[in-house]
Structure 1
Amino acid sequence: TGSRTSVRTLPFTKEVFKLITERFHTHGSIARVVSQSDIPAYSSTELHMGTSSQLAAHVNIARTVNAWKLDLALASTYFPVSGLNYGIVFGCTLGIEDEILRRLSFSSMDAAHPLLMFGIIAEIERSRHIKIVEDTIIGLETRIFELDHVDDTNMETHNYEKRDAYLDTAYLRDQLTSWTNQLLKMKSRAEELDEQGYPKWRGMAFDGDFVRIRFYCKIGREYHSEIRECTMRLDGMAMATQWADGETNVQIALEMKRDSKHMRSIALVTMIFLPGTFFASIFSMTFFNWSPNNDANDNGDGWGGPGQLVSSYIWIYILFATVATGATVLVWWYCVVFRESRARRLRG
C-alpha cells in the first residue's frame, strides 16, 4: 500500500511479509507469477491446505503486465467450507487502495464469490488500459498525419519516431489480446464454480452471472473494441506509408521522365552539331592546307587572289555536313520515333 507502485516492492520487512502470507494462506506460486512481469497471467488451482481434507481451498493468482505503470498482482485463497476468502493485492497505490475498498463497499451477496476481487482488478486494469490505448493511438495518428509534412533535415528523427509509435501500438495490441485471454480463463473459472454449486454460494446464480458479466460480457467486449482500434490504426499506418511511398515513386518517375526529355534534347542538339564538328575537324587538318596566300593567284587551287580568307571549296564542307546531319537525324527518327509509333499502331 502507500505510494509504492512496484509489485516487487513491499512496505514492510521480509519477516512481516512472511507472517502475513502465513496468516493469509498465500500460495507460493505467487512468487513465480510476480517474476513473470513481461506477460499477464492467471491461474486457478484446487488443493488442500495442510493435512486435513476439510481444508480444501481454491487458489487463484493473477498478474498484470508491467510494461506500463501501476501494474498489479493478486493472490487469493478461498476456503469453501468456511466461506472465507483471503486475498493480497500487490502494487497498490493509495488511489487503487481507495478504489478497491469503495467497490467492495458496494458489494452485497456477491462479496462471498471467490473471484470478486479479480473482477475488481480487471475493472481497474481496464481503466489503465483505456488511458494507455488513447495515448498510444493519438501518438500513432500524429505520426500518420506527419507523413506528408516531413523535411529532409528531420527525416531520420521522423522515421525513428514513426517506427517507435508503430511498434508500441503493435505491442499494446498483443498485450491487450493476452489480457483478454486471461479474462476468458477467469470467466471459465467463474462458470466452473457456478456448476460446482458449493453450499456457500448455492442459490447465488445471479451473483455468479454478475461476476461473469464483469469478466467478459462487459470488460471483454470493451477490450475487443480497443484491440480493433489498435488494429485499425496499424493498418492505417501501413496504408499511409504505402501511399506516401507510392507518391514518392510517382514523383521520382516524373522527374526521371523530365530528365529523359532534357537528355533527349541534348542528344538531338549533339546529333545536329556533331557531324559539322566532325567535318570541321577533318577540314582543319593540314591535309587540305587551305590557308590564305597573299602572293597567290588564281591557279586552280581554290584561292582566287591575294588575301582571300575563305576558300572556294567551302561548299564541300557545307555539303558534307548537311548531308551527314540530315542522314543522322533521319536514322534517329526512323529508329526511335517511326518504329515505336508503328509498333504501337500494330499493338492497338
Structure 2
Amino acid sequence: MDIEQRNRDQYTKDLSILSANFSSSQTTCTVFDVNVYKDPHKAASDIFDSRLRIIVGARANDDPSTGLFTIPFLRPTFELIMEGFRFPKTILRAIYKGEAMFSGILENREENNAGWNGSVMRMVFDIHGNEGLAIATSWNLKAGITYALILGCNDKDLNSIVNFITYSTRSVSNPLLLLTMFAGLQLKRFKDLHRTAYGKVQLDIYRAQLDRQDGPEVIAVRRTARTRPTDYDDATREVLRHFQDTGTLGQAMLQFRAEVVKVGQAVKSITKTQRPAPHSTHLKSSGKQITGQLVHILGRLDIYIERNRLTINEASLVMSAFWNLIAQRDNKTNQKIAMQSKNIAEQSRNVTDESKQIAQQSLKIANQTQNLAKTSILIAKQTKRDSSAVKAISLLTMVFLPATYSAFYWYGPSGFGGQIIG
C-alpha cells in the first residue's frame, strides 16, 4: 500500500475516532468535512479530488482570568489530533506563548509523513488579551488531503466558518485558503473592536464638552449629566484607559498586517514549488483568488488602521481637554478660596479694629476709675479733717462753756445768768 493510500485510509478512520472522543464530553468542538469529487454524480469515497477536515474549538471559558483561551478538549484527544492530523509542533508554542505569529510553510521531515507540510498562525488582537485565535493546518497535495484545527472561536467566528465552507467552491483547492478565511475572521473582530473604541472616545468627547454629534449614547450621557455633575477625575482615568486601549488595538492591527503579508509570500511559494500535476490548475487559480482576497483584507485593514490612528489622536485631544477642564475647575476653586481668604482677612482686620477700640475704651474706663479712686481718697482725707475740727470744737465747747456761763452768771447784768439757763 503506497503512502497516499495510507493517508486516505487514515483520513477515513479519523472521523470515527474524533466523533467518539467529542461525543462523550466535548460539546464545544465542531468537525467539518468537505469533499470535492472528480465526478459530481458519483459520491464514492475513493473517487475524490480533494478533502478537507476542520475541527473548530470554541473558547472553553469567557472569563478573562482563564488566560488567552483554553483548549476545549482533554490532553489525550489533543495528542490524537496532533498525531493524526500531522500538525507542526509549533502549534503548542503558538497557543501557549500567546504572541502573534505566522510560521510560514513548515515541511514535515518524519519518514511516515513524507509529502506533508503545515503552517501555524496565531493572533492576539483582543484589547484585553483573552480572545485570541490560533489555526494549525497540514496538507498533502498529492493525496489531496487538508487538515485544520481552529481554536478560540466564538459564535460569530463559527458562523463565518460555516458560511465559508458552505459557499466557497474553492475551500479545499488550496490549504492556504484557510489562512485567508482566518485573516478575514480577525479583520471582522478588528472592525468590531474599532467601532467599540470609537464609540467610547465619542462619549469622552461629549464629557469634555467638545461634542458636535447627538447620537443615542451621547443623549444618554447628556441625560445623566443633567442630574449628576461630571467627575473629571474619574473621567480622566477612563479617557486614559480608552487611549491605552486604542493604542494597543493599533499595534495589534500593524502586527496583524505584517503577518498577512507573510501569508501572501507563502501563497507565492506554494504555487511555485509545490505544484504536482493533478492539482496545478487548482493551485494556480486558487493562488490568484487568495492573492486577491489578501489584497482586499490589507486594503480594509489599512482603512481601519488609519481610522484607529485618528481615534487615538482624538483620545489624546480629549485627554488634553479634560486636563484643561480640571485646570479651570481648580482655578475656580482657588479663586473661591482666595476670595474666602480675603473675606476672612477683612473680618479679622475688622475684629482687630474693634478690639483696639475696646482696648482704648477700657483704658479710658481704667483712667476714670483711677481718678475716682483718687477723688475718693481726697474726700476721705477731707472728711477726716472735718471730723478732727468737729472734735476740736466739741472739746473747746466742753472746756469754755462752763467758764463762760460762770462769768456771765457772776459778772453779768442782774439776772442775765438766769436768762441764760432759763
TM-score range relative to shorter protein: 0.5 to 0.7
Distance across 1 between alignment mates of 2:104 and 2:376:
120
CA 1:93–1:43 in 2, change beyond 3 Å: closer, same or farther?
A: same
Distance across 1 between alignment mates of 2:335 and 2:356:
32
- In structure 2, the partner of 1:8 is 70
Distance across 2 between alignment mates of 1:49 and 1:233:
52
Bigger mean CA offset, 22-31 vs 168-177: 168-177
Distance across 2 between alignment mates of 1:76 and 1:195:
16
The CA RMSD measured in Å over matched residues stands at: 4.0
Which of the numbers 255, 268, 272 marks the counterpart of 1:181? 255
- In structure 2, the partner of 1:338 is none
C-alpha deviation, 1:260, in angstroms: 4.4
- In structure 2, the partner of 1:171 is 245
CA 1:147–1:214 in 2, change beyond 3 Å: closer, same or farther?
A: closer
Deviation string 1:185-217 (CA, Å, 9 cap, x unpaired) is 221331354267233434666324314314422
- In structure 2, the partner of 1:44 is 104
Q: Is the contact between residue 79 and residue 85 of structure 1 (CA under 8 Å) also seen in structure 2?
A: yes
The alignment partner of 2:71 has SS state of coil
Deviation string 1:127-164 (CA, Å, 9 cap, x unpaired) is 23333333344345445545685999995xx8557535
C-alpha deviation, 1:244, in angstroms: 1.8
Q: Alignment length, in residue pairs? A: 292
- In structure 2, the partner of 1:131 is 192
2:254 is the alignment partner of 1:194: no
Unaligned 5+ segments in structure 1 are 298-348
The alignment partner of 1:88 has SS state of strand
- In structure 1, the partner of 2:35 is none
Could you tell me which amino acid in structure 1 is paired with residue 151 of structure 2?
F
The alignment partner of 1:171 has SS state of helix
2:268 is the alignment partner of 1:219: no
2:182 is the alignment partner of 1:100: no
- In structure 2, the partner of 1:290 is 371
- In structure 1, the partner of 2:343 is 262
- In structure 2, the partner of 1:210 is 292
Tell which structure's C-alpha radius of gyration is larger. Answer: 2
Distance across 2 between alignment mates of 1:96 and 1:203:
26
> If the length of structure 1 is used for normalisation, what is the TM-score?
0.66
The alignment partner of 1:9 has SS state of coil
Unaligned 5+ segments in structure 2 are 1-28, 31-56, 61-68, 210-224, 380-422
- In structure 1, the partner of 2:331 is 250
- TM alignment of 1:16-35, pairs within 5 A: 16-35=77-96
2:319 is the alignment partner of 1:238: yes
> If the length of structure 2 is used for normalisation, what is the TM-score?
0.56
Which of the numbers 135, 148, 153 marks the counterpart of 1:87? 148
Could you tell me which amino acid in structure 2 is paired with residue 174 of structure 1?
T
Q: Is the contact between residue 86 and residue 116 of structure 2 (CA under 8 Å) also seen in structure 1?
A: no
CA 1:212–1:133 in 2, change beyond 3 Å: closer, same or farther?
A: closer
CA 1:129–1:204 in 2, change beyond 3 Å: closer, same or farther?
A: closer
CA 1:20–1:134 in 2, change beyond 3 Å: closer, same or farther?
A: same
The alignment partner of 2:247 has SS state of helix
